[in-house]
Amino acid sequence: MMGETVNILLVDDRPEGLLALEAVLDRPDYRLIKANSGSEALKHVLEDDFAVILMDVQMPEMDGFETASVIKQRERSREIPIIFITAINKDDQYVYRGYEVGAVDYIFKPFDPMVVKSKVGVFVELFRRREENKRQAAQLREIDRKERERQLAELELESLRRYQNLADAVPHMIWKSAADGIAEYFNQTWCVFTGLNVEQSLGQGWRAAFHPDDQKEFFRRWRQAMQARENFETECRFKRATDGAYRWCLVRVVPELLGSGEVAAWLGTASDIHDRKMIEQERARLLTAEHEARMRAEEAATRFSQLAAVLPQFVWEHDSAGNRTWVNNRWCEYTGQTFDKTQGRGWLSLLHHEDRAAVEACWGKALKLGRNFEHDYRIRGKDGRYRWFSAHGVPVRDGGGKVTRWVGVATDIQAFRDLDEQRANFLSLASHELKTPLTSIKATLQLQETAQKRGKALSPEQLKRILDTGVRSANRLSHLLDDLLDYSRVESGRLAIEPKQCDLVESVREAISSHQSTIEAEGRLTLSWHLPEKLEGFWDTARLRQVTDNLLSNAIKYSPERGKIEVRLFEDKDDVIFSVRDQGIGIALEDQQRIFNPFERAVETRHYGGFGIGLYVSARIVEQHNGRIEVESQKGAGSTFSVRLPKRPGKQTQVEQSA
């Protein structure tokens, strides 16, 4: 049986030797390679594998033994069997040497071709077996390798299946995209959430579940991450299949990097954080709302304290038991009491002793019933004087209706009280004042009636006296009523003036002559006047006549003894000055201001009748003409009232200009 072709190396320095061997070993499955020296043999051994080497022992330069020992030293050729061919030495020594250097056999010349063939055949067979063994071993190794590879592939598939199972089992949406971002895989959770199956989602299909408003930002972040080859995290909305609602998800995208640092794929996960985000947003909204509410409350508190600081009232706060916990600064300014002293019940010590018990009782009742507290009482100021205040307190309740504290104000009502008192005084004064002339008129009429009843005629003198008294009383009555009427006009704003071009001298002369008769009748006073020929201006003469009348009649009324009255009228640049000077009772300095206020008088009614209205009305008339009225006086040393008027009202008086 022919096997594969094997190499056989024939080494002999003699060509006939090589030929002889060639002839013997000529077989198609033998490839005979010839070398005619030891060194040539070594070269062949380096290049090829040989089943056997047949080598002549005796060769010039390098003999067979030397060549064999070099072949045996080399790793590659160590195993090649060498058969020496020799003719000469058959003694043992020689043969041993051959075996020492690695010979496996000897062939002695002349050789028997059969022996050569069979010996070579044995080694060829051995070589072939060895080669077969080697091939089989290689085949086995190959089978082994393939099996291992199959197992590995199986394992890989298994782990991929497990990975996918795992990916399907997690409650997050997971997907994988190629390095260029084209989606290649989606887990089960994705499909359930979005209602898109894997085929629908692949490539760019998954964008259908992505809120359009969030895509731009998401892809911007991803592009950035692609450049930097790093992961990123963002929040975006995905449409939930079950209800079509867009739900906020936290998306994380991570690159899968190769050993070289290149991106192999992108892994994405998305978890539904909608509820958490809504709670966070709600919390943020509540926080903002709370912050705003606090700001508003603080603003309100600031506004309140600013308001409390400028309010003319006392503003206070008491606890549920009625103890004072706070009061604005007005209280301390007015009472001079420190905040420490006013706290609790300290404020009660400043109440008028006549009011305190009533206030405490009223407070107690308000506290007990939780009803508003309202009371007027007097509080002592730091100057030691009491003023009337009207206090009003209300309970502040919590959500359950329980009173937690009280807040209140106390308003200074002294001016109202004074006005009330004035009104009361005025009423009694007016009734008295009006009654006096009425009684007198009644008396004159009764006198006539009695005379008539008795059939007695009154003498002309008696009649004249009675009539004079009646007329005087009627005049007095009408004068008083005029005063009252003027007052009510001033109060209701109906005292309008109608200025026109007129001569003030004329009007003053008329006033003088109308009072002259009274002065002469009484006989105790002398009247003098200094007037220019003419003094024209733009005034309401009728109203100014009221002023001159009032000043003249006051000068007469308040000069009970003998004395002089002087009337002057003169120009002072753009103004005119009209004055009345008397030598009467005069006015104390402290009263000089207030007599121009309504119902203010510096005398007692039982001595001098009057309402205290005349100067008030005169002052209003002068003011309407843009003028001023002033008094210069000393108690017991007479008074001078002077009126300064601009010639053309509308222009300010010099007094005001210089002021």
Asked if 481 contacts 524 with a C-beta cutoff of 8 angstroms, the reply is no
| One of 54, 308, 367, 602 touching ligand ADP (CB under 6 A) | 602
601 binds ligand ADP (CB under 6 A): yes
Q: Calculate the CA 614 to chain-centre distance.
A: 63
Residue 388's SS3 state is strand
If the CB atoms of residues 349 and 634 are measured against ligand ADP, the closer one turns out to be 634
Rounded Cα distance, 11 and 57, in Å = 9
| One of 111, 248, 266, 611 touching ligand ADP (CB under 6 A) | 611
639 binds ligand ADP (CB under 6 A): yes
DSSP assignment, residue 3?
-
Q: Calculate the CA 282 to chain-centre distance.
A: 17
Q: Closest separation between CB of residue 461 and ligand ADP, Å?
A: 33
HEC letters along 528-539: EEECCCCCEEEE
Q: In what order do the strands lie in the sheet with 639-646?
A: 525-530, 563-572, 575-581, 639-646, 628-633
643 binds ligand ADP (CB under 6 A): no
- Piece of 144-152, 180-188, 274-282, 601-609 that binds ligand ADP (CB under 6 A): 601-609
Phi, psi torsion values for 567, nearest 5 degrees = -115, 135
Q: Closest separation between CB of residue 378 and ligand ADP, Å?
A: 29
What element of type H or E holds 176?
Answer: strand 173-178
Residue 294's SS3 state is helix
Q: Closest separation between CB of residue 424 and ligand ADP, Å?
A: 17
DSSP assignment, residue 210?
B
Tokens of 282: 């709600």
Tokens of 144: 């082994």
If the CB atoms of residues 502 and 603 are measured against ligand ADP, the closer one turns out to be 603
554 binds ligand ADP (CB under 6 A): yes
If the CB atoms of residues 639 and 653 are measured against ligand ADP, the closer one turns out to be 639
Compute how many residues bind ligand ADP; rule: CB under 6 A: 21
Q: Report the residue number whose CB is nearest to ligand ADP.
A: 610
595 binds ligand ADP (CB under 6 A): yes
Would you list the DSSP string of 118-159? HHHHHHHHHHHHHHHHHHHHHHHHHHHHHHHHHHHHHHHHHH
If the CB atoms of residues 257 and 637 are measured against ligand ADP, the closer one turns out to be 637
Tokens of 515: 């009072």
582 binds ligand ADP (CB under 6 A): yes
| One of 103, 120, 512, 587 touching ligand ADP (CB under 6 A) | 587
585 binds ligand ADP (CB under 6 A): yes
| One of 584, 627, 646, 649 touching ligand ADP (CB under 6 A) | 584
- Piece of 304-312, 333-341, 513-521, 577-585 that binds ligand ADP (CB under 6 A): 577-585
| One of 613, 629, 643, 645 touching ligand ADP (CB under 6 A) | 613
| One of 614, 627, 646, 649 touching ligand ADP (CB under 6 A) | 614
Rounded Cα distance, 637 and 202, in Å = 119
Burial class (CB in 10 A: 0-12, 13-18, 19+), 487: buried
- Piece of 129-137, 165-173, 234-242, 551-559 that binds ligand ADP (CB under 6 A): 551-559
Residues linked to residue 390 through DSSP beta bridges, in sequence order: 376, 411
| One of 81, 610, 627, 646 touching ligand ADP (CB under 6 A) | 610
Q: Closest separation between CB of residue 570 and ligand ADP, Å?
A: 20
Residues linked to residue 539 through DSSP beta bridges, in sequence order: 500
Considering only residues 197-226, where is the footprint of ligand ADP by CB under 6 A? Answer: none
Q: Closest separation between CB of residue 435 and ligand ADP, Å?
A: 16
- Spell out the residues 6+ positions from residue 164 whose beta carbon is closer than 8 angstroms to its own: 187
DSSP assignment, residue 458?
P
- Piece of 245-253, 287-295, 386-394, 613-621 that binds ligand ADP (CB under 6 A): 613-621
Rounded Cα distance, 475 and 458, in Å = 23
Asked if 634 contacts 623 with a C-beta cutoff of 8 angstroms, the reply is no
Rounded Cα distance, 22 and 37, in Å = 16
Cα-based angle 337, 339, 340 (whole degrees, multiple of 5):
100
Count of positions (residues) in the chain:
659
If the CB atoms of residues 18 and 602 are measured against ligand ADP, the closer one turns out to be 602
Cα-based angle 322, 323, 324 (whole degrees, multiple of 5):
115
| One of 603, 632, 651, 654 touching ligand ADP (CB under 6 A) | 603
Q: Closest separation between CB of residue 385 and ligand ADP, Å?
A: 24
Q: Closest separation between CB of residue 516 and ligand ADP, Å?
A: 17
629 binds ligand ADP (CB under 6 A): no
Rounded Cα distance, 152 and 175, in Å = 25
If the CB atoms of residues 190 and 558 are measured against ligand ADP, the closer one turns out to be 558
612 binds ligand ADP (CB under 6 A): yes
Considering only residues 39-58, where is the footprint of ligand ADP by CB under 6 A? Answer: none
If the CB atoms of residues 107 and 602 are measured against ligand ADP, the closer one turns out to be 602
Q: Closest separation between CB of residue 528 and ligand ADP, Å?
A: 16
167 binds ligand ADP (CB under 6 A): no
- Piece of 60-68, 354-362, 409-417, 549-557 that binds ligand ADP (CB under 6 A): 549-557
555 binds ligand ADP (CB under 6 A): yes
Q: Which residue has the tokens 């009032």?
A: 550
Which positions lie near ligand ADP, rule CB under 6 A?
550, 554-555, 558, 582, 584-587, 595, 601-603, 610-616, 639
